[in-house]
Protein backbone atom coordinates (compact mmCIF):
# COMPACT_ATOMS: atom_id res chain seq x y z
CA UNK A 1 0.00 0.00 0.00
CA UNK A 2 1.38 3.42 -1.01
CA UNK A 3 2.10 5.86 1.78
CA UNK A 4 0.62 9.32 1.50
CA UNK A 5 2.48 12.51 2.31
CA UNK A 6 0.71 15.36 4.08
CA UNK A 7 1.74 18.97 3.63
CA UNK A 8 0.39 22.24 4.99
CA UNK A 9 -0.86 25.18 2.95
CA UNK A 10 2.36 27.06 3.68
CA UNK A 11 4.35 24.25 2.03
CA UNK A 12 2.38 24.66 -1.21
CA UNK A 13 2.71 28.46 -0.99
CA UNK A 14 6.49 28.05 -0.85
CA UNK A 15 6.30 26.16 -4.16
CA UNK A 16 4.08 28.76 -5.85
CA UNK A 17 3.30 32.23 -4.51
CA UNK A 18 -0.41 32.14 -5.37
CA UNK A 19 -2.66 31.81 -2.31
CA UNK A 20 -5.41 30.30 -4.50
CA UNK A 21 -2.96 27.65 -5.71
CA UNK A 22 -1.86 26.84 -2.15
CA UNK A 23 -5.45 26.53 -0.88
CA UNK A 24 -6.47 24.29 -3.78
CA UNK A 25 -3.43 22.04 -3.30
CA UNK A 26 -4.13 21.76 0.41
CA UNK A 27 -7.73 20.85 -0.40
CA UNK A 28 -6.62 18.19 -2.91
CA UNK A 29 -4.10 16.65 -0.48
CA UNK A 30 -2.83 14.16 0.51
CA UNK A 31 -0.90 12.78 -2.45
CA UNK A 32 0.61 9.32 -2.73
CA UNK A 33 3.35 10.36 -5.15
CA UNK A 34 5.13 13.30 -6.70
CA UNK A 35 3.53 12.54 -10.07
CA UNK A 36 0.07 12.77 -8.52
CA UNK A 37 0.92 16.11 -6.91
CA UNK A 38 2.38 17.53 -10.13
CA UNK A 39 -0.70 16.45 -12.09
CA UNK A 40 -2.96 18.19 -9.56
CA UNK A 41 -0.71 21.27 -9.54
CA UNK A 42 -0.89 21.63 -13.32
CA UNK A 43 -4.67 21.34 -13.33
CA UNK A 44 -5.03 23.87 -10.51
CA UNK A 45 -2.56 26.34 -12.01
CA UNK A 46 -3.93 26.35 -15.54
CA UNK A 47 -7.64 25.76 -14.85
CA UNK A 48 -8.48 27.11 -11.38
CA UNK A 49 -6.06 29.97 -10.65
CA UNK A 50 -7.19 33.18 -12.33
CA UNK A 51 -5.17 36.06 -13.80
CA UNK A 52 -4.83 37.75 -10.42
CA UNK A 53 -3.47 34.52 -8.95
CA UNK A 54 -0.91 34.26 -11.73
CA UNK A 55 0.23 37.83 -11.12
CA UNK A 56 0.46 37.16 -7.39
CA UNK A 57 2.76 34.21 -8.05
CA UNK A 58 4.87 36.19 -10.51
CA UNK A 59 5.32 38.96 -7.94
CA UNK A 60 6.64 36.46 -5.38
CA UNK A 61 9.73 35.81 -7.52
CA UNK A 62 12.97 37.77 -7.20
CA UNK A 63 13.83 39.71 -10.33
CA UNK A 64 16.31 37.91 -12.58
CA UNK A 65 19.64 39.35 -11.52
CA UNK A 66 18.47 39.62 -7.88
CA UNK A 67 19.27 36.00 -7.37
CA UNK A 68 17.16 33.20 -5.91
CA UNK A 69 19.80 30.94 -4.36
CA UNK A 70 19.92 27.48 -5.94
CA UNK A 71 17.43 28.09 -8.75
CA UNK A 72 19.64 30.76 -10.29
CA UNK A 73 23.02 29.32 -9.19
CA UNK A 74 24.38 28.96 -12.73
CA UNK A 75 23.39 32.53 -13.55
CA UNK A 76 25.11 33.73 -10.38
CA UNK A 77 28.35 31.97 -11.27
CA UNK A 78 28.38 33.38 -14.83
CA UNK A 79 27.23 36.94 -14.13
CA UNK A 80 29.66 39.72 -14.98
CA UNK A 81 29.06 43.29 -13.88
CA UNK A 82 28.19 44.35 -17.42
CA UNK A 83 25.66 41.52 -17.87
CA UNK A 84 24.07 42.28 -14.50
CA UNK A 85 23.61 45.89 -15.56
CA UNK A 86 22.17 44.87 -18.92
CA UNK A 87 19.81 42.40 -17.21
CA UNK A 88 18.63 45.16 -14.88
CA UNK A 89 18.02 47.52 -17.81
CA UNK A 90 16.10 44.94 -19.84
CA UNK A 91 14.14 43.83 -16.77
CA UNK A 92 12.96 47.40 -16.34
CA UNK A 93 11.95 47.65 -20.01
CA UNK A 94 10.18 44.30 -19.82
CA UNK A 95 8.23 45.24 -16.70
CA UNK A 96 7.20 48.57 -18.18
CA UNK A 97 5.85 46.84 -21.29
CA UNK A 98 4.14 43.81 -19.70
CA UNK A 99 3.36 44.94 -16.15
CA UNK A 100 5.12 42.04 -14.38
CA UNK A 101 8.70 40.85 -13.90
CA UNK A 102 10.47 38.66 -16.44
CA UNK A 103 9.96 35.06 -15.37
CA UNK A 104 12.06 32.15 -16.61
CA UNK A 105 13.01 28.68 -15.39
CA UNK A 106 16.56 29.79 -14.59
CA UNK A 107 17.99 26.54 -13.21
CA UNK A 108 20.99 25.55 -15.32
CA UNK A 109 20.95 28.72 -17.44
CA UNK A 110 23.83 31.16 -17.57
CA UNK A 111 23.29 34.90 -17.19
CA UNK A 112 24.11 35.35 -20.87
CA UNK A 113 21.53 32.78 -21.94
CA UNK A 114 18.88 34.44 -19.77
CA UNK A 115 19.66 37.83 -21.27
CA UNK A 116 19.28 36.45 -24.82
CA UNK A 117 15.91 34.92 -23.90
CA UNK A 118 14.74 38.14 -22.21
CA UNK A 119 15.48 40.17 -25.33
CA UNK A 120 13.76 37.57 -27.52
CA UNK A 121 10.60 37.46 -25.41
CA UNK A 122 10.43 41.24 -25.12
CA UNK A 123 9.22 41.27 -28.72
CA UNK A 124 6.14 39.15 -27.91
CA UNK A 125 2.60 40.46 -27.76
CA UNK A 126 1.41 40.83 -24.13
CA UNK A 127 -1.17 38.03 -24.33
CA UNK A 128 1.46 35.63 -25.72
CA UNK A 129 4.06 36.60 -23.16
CA UNK A 130 1.60 36.24 -20.28
CA UNK A 131 0.97 32.62 -21.28
CA UNK A 132 4.71 31.92 -21.61
CA UNK A 133 5.36 33.40 -18.16
CA UNK A 134 2.64 31.14 -16.69
CA UNK A 135 4.30 28.10 -18.29
CA UNK A 136 7.69 29.11 -16.90
CA UNK A 137 6.11 29.53 -13.46
CA UNK A 138 4.80 25.96 -13.69
CA UNK A 139 8.31 24.67 -14.46
CA UNK A 140 9.63 26.41 -11.35
CA UNK A 141 6.74 25.03 -9.30
CA UNK A 142 7.43 21.47 -10.48
CA UNK A 143 11.08 21.78 -9.47
CA UNK A 144 10.09 23.01 -6.03
CA UNK A 145 7.51 20.23 -5.66
CA UNK A 146 10.20 17.64 -6.45
CA UNK A 147 12.46 19.15 -3.77
CA UNK A 148 9.59 19.27 -1.28
CA UNK A 149 8.73 15.60 -1.78
CA UNK A 150 12.37 14.53 -1.74
CA UNK A 151 12.99 16.35 1.54
CA UNK A 152 9.89 14.89 3.19
CA UNK A 153 10.67 11.38 1.94
CA UNK A 154 14.25 11.53 3.22
CA UNK A 155 12.99 12.53 6.66
CA UNK A 156 10.78 9.43 6.80
CA UNK A 157 11.72 6.23 8.64
CA UNK A 158 14.96 5.25 6.86
CA UNK A 159 16.44 8.70 6.64
CA UNK A 160 17.66 7.89 3.10
CA UNK A 161 16.60 9.46 -0.21
CA UNK A 162 13.59 7.72 -1.73
CA UNK A 163 14.18 5.78 -4.95
CA UNK A 164 10.67 6.65 -6.08
CA UNK A 165 11.09 10.39 -5.80
CA UNK A 166 14.24 11.54 -7.63
CA UNK A 167 15.79 14.77 -6.44
CA UNK A 168 16.67 15.63 -10.04
CA UNK A 169 14.09 16.83 -12.53
CA UNK A 170 16.47 16.84 -15.53
CA UNK A 171 19.55 14.91 -16.70
CA UNK A 172 22.78 15.58 -14.75
CA UNK A 173 24.64 16.70 -17.90
CA UNK A 174 23.07 19.32 -20.18
CA UNK A 175 24.21 21.79 -22.80
CA UNK A 176 23.09 24.87 -24.67
CA UNK A 177 24.61 26.56 -27.74
CA UNK A 178 24.55 30.27 -28.50
CA UNK A 179 25.60 31.63 -31.89
CA UNK A 180 27.27 34.86 -30.83
CA UNK A 181 27.70 36.02 -34.44
CA UNK A 182 23.91 36.09 -34.83
CA UNK A 183 23.02 36.85 -31.24
CA UNK A 184 20.63 33.89 -31.05
CA UNK A 185 20.49 30.22 -30.01
CA UNK A 186 22.07 27.73 -32.43
CA UNK A 187 19.36 25.28 -33.50
CA UNK A 188 19.88 21.93 -35.24
CA UNK A 189 23.42 21.28 -33.98
CA UNK A 190 24.20 17.61 -33.40
CA UNK A 191 25.53 16.93 -29.89
CA UNK A 192 27.26 13.69 -28.79
CA UNK A 193 28.10 12.64 -25.22
CA UNK A 194 30.68 9.91 -24.50
CA UNK A 195 32.37 8.51 -21.38
CA UNK A 196 35.93 7.19 -21.07
CA UNK A 197 36.16 3.41 -20.53
CA UNK A 198 39.63 2.78 -22.00
CA UNK A 199 42.37 0.46 -20.79
CA UNK A 200 44.20 3.49 -19.37
CA UNK A 201 42.74 5.34 -16.37
CA UNK A 202 42.62 8.54 -18.40
CA UNK A 203 42.60 9.45 -22.09
CA UNK A 204 45.94 10.69 -23.35
CA UNK A 205 46.68 14.19 -24.52
CA UNK A 206 46.58 14.16 -28.31
CA UNK A 207 44.49 10.98 -28.42
CA UNK A 208 47.39 8.52 -28.75
CA UNK A 209 46.20 5.03 -27.84
CA UNK A 210 42.62 6.16 -27.21
CA UNK A 211 41.01 3.98 -29.91
CA UNK A 212 37.91 2.26 -28.56
CA UNK A 213 38.14 4.01 -25.21
CA UNK A 214 35.21 6.39 -25.64
CA UNK A 215 31.78 4.85 -25.06
CA UNK A 216 28.57 6.40 -26.40
CA UNK A 217 26.19 7.81 -23.76
CA UNK A 218 23.65 9.75 -25.82
CA UNK A 219 23.11 12.21 -28.65
CA UNK A 220 20.55 14.70 -29.91
CA UNK A 221 20.15 17.91 -31.90
CA UNK A 222 19.61 21.29 -30.32
CA UNK A 223 16.11 22.76 -30.44
CA UNK A 224 15.07 26.28 -31.38
CA UNK A 225 16.29 27.48 -27.96
CA UNK A 226 19.73 25.99 -28.66
CA UNK A 227 19.23 23.29 -26.02
CA UNK A 228 20.04 19.64 -26.62
CA UNK A 229 17.62 16.84 -25.85
CA UNK A 230 18.28 14.27 -23.12
CA UNK A 231 21.89 13.02 -23.34
CA UNK A 232 21.80 10.85 -20.20
CA UNK A 233 19.23 9.25 -17.95
CA UNK A 234 17.75 11.29 -15.09
CA UNK A 235 19.57 9.80 -12.10
CA UNK A 236 20.26 11.19 -8.66
CA UNK A 237 23.97 10.33 -8.81
CA UNK A 238 25.86 10.62 -12.10
CA UNK A 239 28.65 8.08 -12.59
CA UNK A 240 32.02 9.68 -11.81
CA UNK A 241 34.51 9.63 -14.65
CA UNK A 242 35.80 11.48 -17.68
CA UNK A 243 33.29 12.63 -20.28
CA UNK A 244 33.56 14.11 -23.76
CA UNK A 245 30.84 16.24 -25.29
CA UNK A 246 31.16 17.01 -29.01
CA UNK A 247 29.34 19.52 -31.19
CA UNK A 248 28.99 19.13 -34.97
CA UNK A 249 29.74 22.78 -35.70
CA UNK A 250 30.90 21.99 -39.26
CA UNK A 251 27.45 20.78 -40.23
CA UNK A 252 25.87 23.83 -38.58
CA UNK A 253 28.22 26.26 -40.35
CA UNK A 254 30.08 24.59 -43.28
CA UNK A 255 32.07 27.78 -43.99
CA UNK A 256 33.25 28.10 -40.39
CA UNK A 257 36.73 27.35 -39.03
CA UNK A 258 35.82 24.38 -36.80
CA UNK A 259 34.58 21.08 -38.35
CA UNK A 260 33.60 20.03 -34.83
CA UNK A 261 34.29 21.02 -31.21
CA UNK A 262 34.95 18.51 -28.41
CA UNK A 263 35.16 19.34 -24.71
CA UNK A 264 36.58 16.80 -22.23
CA UNK A 265 35.75 17.15 -18.54
CA UNK A 266 35.94 15.07 -15.38
CA UNK A 267 33.24 14.45 -12.78
CA UNK A 268 34.72 13.38 -9.46
CA UNK A 269 33.17 11.19 -6.79
CA UNK A 270 32.54 14.22 -4.61
CA UNK A 271 30.62 15.89 -7.47
CA UNK A 272 28.27 13.05 -8.48
CA UNK A 273 25.18 14.77 -7.06
CA UNK A 274 25.89 18.06 -8.86
CA UNK A 275 24.46 19.27 -12.15
CA UNK A 276 26.86 19.91 -15.04
CA UNK A 277 25.80 22.42 -17.66
CA UNK A 278 28.31 22.73 -20.52
CA UNK A 279 27.24 25.67 -22.71
CA UNK A 280 29.01 26.57 -25.95
CA UNK A 281 29.34 30.09 -27.32
CA UNK A 282 30.21 29.75 -30.99
CA UNK A 283 30.90 31.92 -34.03
CA UNK A 284 32.41 31.01 -37.42
CA UNK A 285 35.97 31.58 -36.16
CA UNK A 286 35.89 31.20 -32.39
CA UNK A 287 34.25 29.32 -29.53
CA UNK A 288 34.27 29.38 -25.75
CA UNK A 289 32.75 27.42 -22.89
CA UNK A 290 32.65 27.27 -19.10
CA UNK A 291 31.36 25.08 -16.30
CA UNK A 292 27.73 25.78 -15.44
CA UNK A 293 25.90 24.11 -12.55
For residue 61, indicate whether it is catalytic: yes
Annotated active-site residue in 61, 176, 275, 277: 61
In Å, how far from its chain's centre is CA 233? 15
* CA neighbor of 133 nearest in space, from 20, 32, 33, 45: 45
Q: Which residues pair with 244 in a beta bridge?
A: 194, 264
Find, among 285, 279, 251, the residue nearest to 265 by Cα: 279
- The angle formed by the CA atoms of residues 101, 105 and 111, to the nearest 5 degrees, is 80
CA atoms within 13 A on the CB side of 198: 18
DSSP H helices in 123-259: 126-154, 249-252
Find the farthest-apart pair of alpha carbons in the chain and give their distance in angstroms, rounded.
63
Residues annotated as catalytic (active site), given as ranges: 61
Amino acid sequence: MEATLNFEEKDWLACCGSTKFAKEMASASPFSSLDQAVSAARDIWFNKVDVNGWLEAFAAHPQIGQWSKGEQSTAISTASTSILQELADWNARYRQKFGFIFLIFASGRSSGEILVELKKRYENRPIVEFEIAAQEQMKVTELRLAKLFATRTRSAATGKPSQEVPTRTRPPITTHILDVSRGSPAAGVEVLLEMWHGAQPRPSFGGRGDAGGWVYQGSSKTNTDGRSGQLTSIVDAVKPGIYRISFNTGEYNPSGFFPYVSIVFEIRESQKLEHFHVPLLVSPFSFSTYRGS
